[in-house]
Structure 1
């Protein structure tokens, strides 16, 4: 019987035109049988942890602002919006007389104006989003910024740039203080295992971007001879004092 089976196997292989030596046939048949019944066992996986997904998805609780923090945020957004409005008005008033005498400054003035207009738009959106009351001093700041811009431009290029240097020095410092406070909130929340929330994280990011652009304007002003203005010390000190006063009032009114 074994001989017949072997003969049939060899005949089948030869009929398929496969050159197989006679003594290999039993080995081929045996290997085929082993491969069917002796496959390599798959590795045993540890039992799934039913709580693993829940642990992975667990997020820290969101911190809710207390009254002091909410009041700080309201005053910060209010004064920032007012400050960016003033900056837009200053550049609007400075540009015509300045580029009439110094046409090469047109691209620089446009660049700074466009950035300030973008800042103003950002704070308008944030004021609306957080339902913050704008300052009641809008009409006064509107007039004061326009007069400051036009007056320094008439005094000359150096005075106009000194105005930019003074304003951006105060505004840059003011933004730095706001960022410091918000980062302190974030650190305290992290220590408590809380999340400050996406809206505050986004605000910190925006404040950093706007601060950097404001300080860029300060650098432009110094590069264009702001310190050559006469009287430089008197002019910049008066403007910086006015900015600090406007910030203090806008935070409260």
Structure 2
């Protein structure tokens, strides 16, 4: 259930990606290379927009979980995962700004929906929060894996730095996924 809601929001964000006129730049890039053409720009913009939306949503989910479980014994564990998500979101905020990519138009909805998803699953207790974490982190990891495959097929040397960021974040998302499993996510009756 949790994964279905999260995937629906990510897919909606993906479908809202629109074509943006190509703006080539002579400046050096930090992570994303200067696009060669409008097709490459569209692809990279979509990836960055989806990644930003996923990290934004994950941040709001952890904020909701902390609102309910922040003072419990589970609070420090959730806070640790949330701190990594904050780092991911900060990086994608920088990438969007550097590359003049607008965030998804669904951020206001995702702001509320993410918090409600996190808080409502945390009301089920630690196990509910961890089941949500497992589903969300699995979904984000799947998106990252798809992007890694796409970039590797295109030109792995050209996208070295971007691949490094995506792989690092994917690995941390999988750590969160595994942490959720280690903390009884599968004991929730609604766990799928």
Relative to the length of structure 2, the TM-score reads 0.78
Describe the superposition over 1:35-75 as per-residue Cα deviations: whole angstroms up to 9, x where unpaired: xxxxxxxxxxxxxxxxxxxxxxxxxxx99533222111001
Q: 1:88-167, aligned counterparts within 5 Å? A: 88-100=59-71, 103-167=72-136
Unaligned segments of structure 1, at least 5 residues? 1-61, 188-194, 234-253
Describe the superposition over 1:135-155 as per-residue Cα deviations: whole angstroms up to 9, x where unpaired: 111111111001101100011
Could you tell me whether the CA contact under 8 Å between 1:159 and 1:230 is conserved in 2?
no
Structure 1 ranges of 4+ moved more than 3 A: none
Deviates more, 1:140-149 or 1:89-98: 89-98
Unaligned segments of structure 2, at least 5 residues? 1-32
* Offset of residue 113 of structure 1: 0.7
Q: Secondary structure at the match of 2:123?
A: helix
* Structural RMSD (CA): 1.7
Could you tell me whether the CA contact under 8 Å between 1:161 and 1:221 is conserved in 2?
yes
Matched, 1:71 2:30: no
The structure in which a higher percent of residues are helix is 1
Corresponding residue number in structure 2 for 1:207: 166
CA distance in 1: counterparts of 2:92 and 2:37, whole angstroms? 22
Relative to the length of structure 1, the TM-score reads 0.60
Q: Which has the larger radius of gyration?
A: 1
Could you tell me whether the CA contact under 8 Å between 2:57 and 2:111 is conserved in 1?
yes
CA distance in 1: counterparts of 2:35 and 2:52, whole angstroms? 24
Corresponding residue number in structure 2 for 1:174: 143
Q: How many residue pairs are counted as aligned between the two chains?
A: 160
* Offset of residue 97 of structure 1: 1.9
